[in-house]
């Protein structure tokens, strides 16, 4: 069973949990604990058990990364380079990824209708357009909903970045909300009690709070409060868990950090690898700074190289640890950027066509699907919708993408948004 390559096998994990549970929380949680472990022990037919989803905040230019147009005026200063896959070119900042192209499945014919950042991210993450009357779950929430948590103490879903506008659990159980980690170097903060505070005293405080709060909670019972009530439980469970060290990238050797690069995305990917290794089902890493309306080639020089180093190293590292066979890595963006270079030497928003990349578990390496036209303006071959893309991810995870789920308001939704999986990129 692949997921058992963790440093604790299922049995010793169970013992470890039991010990912690007795030490800090009493034995009351034991039944829930064994349920969790049993769920995790069931082998699922899918190959991807974990997902690392890297989101290019601000919208990544396709021409300067995964879909260059050699010889075109639109290409500007980015030089297309040869990848390991014959005939496939990348922008010159993606050297490492070019050498790993046989692990990647590149989709070059995505397009959407929205050129607004927040709406673009929302659509990518949830497969549905942002509307007022409902909040849709992000893919990670569906994944944990469908596949369950792996570690009992650690969250199922972690977001390295800003939780503010993330759709999170949407209409699913608030417990599926990703736990945001603002700064990968700090990990999850405030997880230990102040030293003067004994465990007993902490419990007393909680009991006191619950008692004083009972009327208020009763009066306003509903989703808003439930979200907090649930997360109080999660927070308490996290405190004192030995698995917390998964959040601490300082435990990595300096040379490992060096390989990933000292950037937001590098440290984020390193943290993601640690978390996946320790039993977090899905990690999203936000990578900001792609909104290159000005000086796109200067900016690409920085961001493109950071991306290359971080994701390239992540793939190698996962592979070295035998985790790539069970981890799906997704590289997604809000939309693309205009082929035309504007008067500020930048590129503007372009939802007309753009590229995303899949790698690892469940994915056919070296595949390229779809194509944009000669200028990188519109899909030219095999257009792919966001729903198709996300349904492909769902398929790679073995999630039931055809099944209808009903939101509390009765409306039906599908994981991946009811698209058609792209068979050509699935292993």
Partner 1 sequence: MQRVIACLLVVAAALAVEAAPATKAARAAKRAEKNSGQPGARLPAAVLEAPASPVMQVASVDRARRPVVEAAARQIDSLLEQHWHEHGVAGSEPLSDAQFVRRIHLELAGQIPTFDDTMRFLDSKSPSKRADLIDELLESSDYVSHTYNFWADILRLCERPQKDLFFEPYLDWVKRSIADNRPYDQWVHELLTADGKVWENPAVGFQLRDKGMPLPYVDNTVRVFLGTQIGCAQCHDHPFDSWTQHQFYELAALTSGTRMRLEGAVGKKKGMTKEEAKEAALAARQANTETFRQVRQIVVEANQQIRDKKVDQGLRQFINANLTSVNYHDAKLLLPHDYRYDDAQPLAAVAPRVLWGEIPTAAAGKDGREQFAAWLTSRENRQFARTIANRMWRKVMGVGLVEPVDDFREGNPASNPELLEHLTDLMLSLDFDLREFIRVIVSTNAYQRRAVLHDPTSATPFRFTGPALKRMTAEQLWDSILVLVAHNEWAFQRPTVEAYAARAEGHLTAPGTSYNDVEQAYERFNQAFSKKRYLTRLHKNYGYQGQVLVRASELPTPLPLGHFLRQFGQSDRESIEGGRTVATVPQILSMFNGPITHSMLVPGSALHDEVMSHDSQQAVDVVFLSILSHRPSAEDRSFAIQEIRSAETPTAGIGNLVWALLNTREFIFIQ
Q: Name which of residues 83 to 142 contact partner 1 (CB under 8 A).
A: 113-118, 132-135
Identity of the residue, 92 or 166, whose beta carbon is nearer to partner 1 in the bound complex: 166
Identity of the residue, 42 or 212, whose beta carbon is nearer to partner 1 in the bound complex: 212
Q: How many CB atoms lie within 10 A of CB 239?
A: 18
Spell 36-49 as b/e; 16+ CB within 10 A means b. Answer: bbeebeeeeebbbb
Identity of the residue, 319 or 348, whose beta carbon is nearer to partner 1 in the bound complex: 348
Measured CA distances, 312 to 63, 250, 319, 372, 384 (Å): 19, 21, 11, 24, 25
Find the shortest distance in angstroms from Cβ 193 to partner 1: 6
281 binds partner 1 (CB under 8 A): no
- Residues that bind partner 1 (rule: CB under 8 A) add up to a total of 73
Find the shortest distance in angstroms from Cβ 302 to partner 1: 14
Cα–Cα distance for residue pair 189/52, rounded to 1 Å: 22
* Interface stretch with partner 1, choices 29-37, 94-102, 144-152, 349-357 (CB under 8 A): 349-357
Cα–Cα distance for residue pair 330/51, rounded to 1 Å: 7
Find the shortest distance in angstroms from Cβ 135 to partner 1: 7
Cα–Cα distance for residue pair 348/341, rounded to 1 Å: 8
25 binds partner 1 (CB under 8 A): no
259 binds partner 1 (CB under 8 A): no
Identity of the residue, 51 or 175, whose beta carbon is nearer to partner 1 in the bound complex: 175
Find the shortest distance in angstroms from Cβ 379 to partner 1: 15
Q: Which residue of 371, 407, 424, 427 would you call a contact of partner 1, by CB under 8 A?
A: 407
Q: Which residue of 8, 16, 30, 235 would you call a contact of partner 1, by CB under 8 A?
A: 235
Interaction with partner 1 in 181-200: which residues (CB under 8 A)?
A: 181-183, 186, 188-196
Give me 212's structure tokens: 């004083």
* Residue window 361-400: x/- pattern of binding to partner 1, with contact defined by CB under 8 A: ----------------x-----------------------
Identity of the residue, 93 or 177, whose beta carbon is nearer to partner 1 in the bound complex: 177
Q: Which residue of 60, 239, 330, 415 would you call a contact of partner 1, by CB under 8 A?
A: 239
Identity of the residue, 171 or 369, whose beta carbon is nearer to partner 1 in the bound complex: 171
- As a three-state string, the secondary structure of 233-292 is HHHHHHCCCHHHHHHCHHHCCHHHHHHHCCCHHHHHHHHHHHHHHCCCCEEEEEECCCCC
Interaction with partner 1 in 302-331: which residues (CB under 8 A)?
A: none
Identity of the residue, 257 or 293, whose beta carbon is nearer to partner 1 in the bound complex: 293
Which of 325, 323, 329 lies closest to 393, judged by CA? 329
Identity of the residue, 71 or 194, whose beta carbon is nearer to partner 1 in the bound complex: 194
Could you tell me whether strands 282-287 and 50-56 are parallel, antiparallel, or unpaired per DSSP bridges?
A: parallel
Cα–Cα distance for residue pair 333/347, rounded to 1 Å: 15
290 binds partner 1 (CB under 8 A): no
Find the shortest distance in angstroms from Cβ 426 to partner 1: 30
Q: Which residue of 223, 253, 254, 255 would you call a contact of partner 1, by CB under 8 A?
A: 223
Which residues lie closer than 8 Å to 114 by C-beta, 6 or more apart? 120, 123, 129, 335, 351
For residue 21, what is the DSSP state? I
* Interface stretch with partner 1, choices 82-90, 94-102, 358-366, 401-409 (CB under 8 A): 401-409
Q: Which residue of 8, 10, 225, 371 would you call a contact of partner 1, by CB under 8 A?
A: 225
Which segments within 237-334 are labelled E, that is strand?
A: 282-287, 327-333
3 state DSSP class of 182: coil
CB-CB contact of 396 with 426 (8 Å): yes
Interaction with partner 1 in 155-184: which residues (CB under 8 A)?
A: 155, 161-165, 168, 171, 174, 177, 179-183
CB-CB contact of 378 with 111 (8 Å): yes
38 binds partner 1 (CB under 8 A): no
Q: Which residue of 232, 262, 321, 374 would you call a contact of partner 1, by CB under 8 A?
A: 232
244 binds partner 1 (CB under 8 A): no
Cα–Cα distance for residue pair 89/83, rounded to 1 Å: 6
218 binds partner 1 (CB under 8 A): no
Which residues lie closer than 8 Å to 62 by C-beta, 6 or more apart? 108, 336, 337, 353, 354, 355, 372, 376
Cα–Cα distance for residue pair 323/340, rounded to 1 Å: 40
13 binds partner 1 (CB under 8 A): no
CB-CB contact of 339 with 64 (8 Å): no
CB-CB contact of 316 with 364 (8 Å): no
């Amino acid at each position: 069973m692949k997921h058992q390559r963790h440093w604790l096998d299922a049995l010793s994990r169970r013992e470890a949990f039991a010990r912690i549970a007795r030490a800090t929380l009493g034995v009351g949680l034991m039944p829930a604990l064994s349920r969790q472990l049993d769920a995790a022990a069931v082998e699922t037919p899918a190959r991807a058990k974990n997902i690392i989803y890297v989101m290019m905040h601000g919208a990544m230019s396709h021409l300067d990364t995964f879909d260059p147009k050699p010889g075109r005026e639109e290409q500007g200063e980015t030089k297309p380079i040869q990848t390991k896959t014959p005939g496939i070119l990348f922008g010159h900042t993606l050297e490492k990824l070019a050498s790993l192209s046989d692990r990647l499945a590149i989709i070059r014919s995505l397009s959407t209708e929205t050129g607004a950042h927040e709406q673009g991210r929302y659509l990518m993450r949830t497969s549905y357009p942002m509307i007022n009357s409902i909040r849709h779950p992000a893919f990670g929430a569906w994944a944990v909903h469908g596949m369950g948590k792996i570690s009992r103490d650690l969250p199922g879903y972690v977001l390295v970045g800003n939780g503010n506008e993330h759709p999170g659990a949407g209409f699913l159980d608030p417990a599926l909300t990703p736990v945001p980690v603002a700064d990968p170097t700090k990990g999850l903060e405030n997880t230990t009690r102040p030293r003067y505070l004994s465990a007993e005293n902490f419990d007393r405080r909680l009991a006191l709070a619950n008692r004083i709060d009972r009327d208020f909670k009763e009066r306003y019972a509903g989703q808003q409060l439930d979200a907090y009530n649930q997360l109080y439980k999660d927070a308490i469970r996290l405190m004192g868990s030995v698995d917390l060290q998964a959040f601490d990238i300082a435990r990595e050797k300096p040379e490992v950090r060096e390989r990933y690069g000292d950037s937001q995305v590098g440290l984020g990917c390193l943290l993601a690898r640690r978390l996946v290794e320790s039993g977090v089902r899905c990690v999203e890493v936000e990578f900001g700074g792609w909104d290159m309306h000005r000086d796109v080639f200067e900016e690409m020089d920085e961001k493109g190289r950071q991306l290359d180093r971080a994701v390239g190293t992540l793939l190698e590292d996962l592979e070295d640890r035998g985790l790539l066979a069970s981890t799906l890595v997704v590289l997604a963006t809000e939309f693309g950027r205009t082929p035309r270079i504007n008067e500020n030497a930048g590129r503007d928003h372009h939802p007309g066509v753009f590229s995303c990349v899949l790698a690892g578990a469940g994915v056919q390496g070296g595949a390229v699907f779809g194509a944009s036209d000669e200028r990188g303006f519109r899909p030219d071959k095999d257009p792919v919708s966001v729903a198709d893309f996300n349904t492909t991810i769902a398929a790679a995870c073995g999630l039931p993408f055809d099944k209808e789920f009903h939101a509390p308001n009765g409306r039906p939704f599908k994981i991946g948004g009811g698209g058609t999986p792209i068979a050509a990129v699935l292993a």
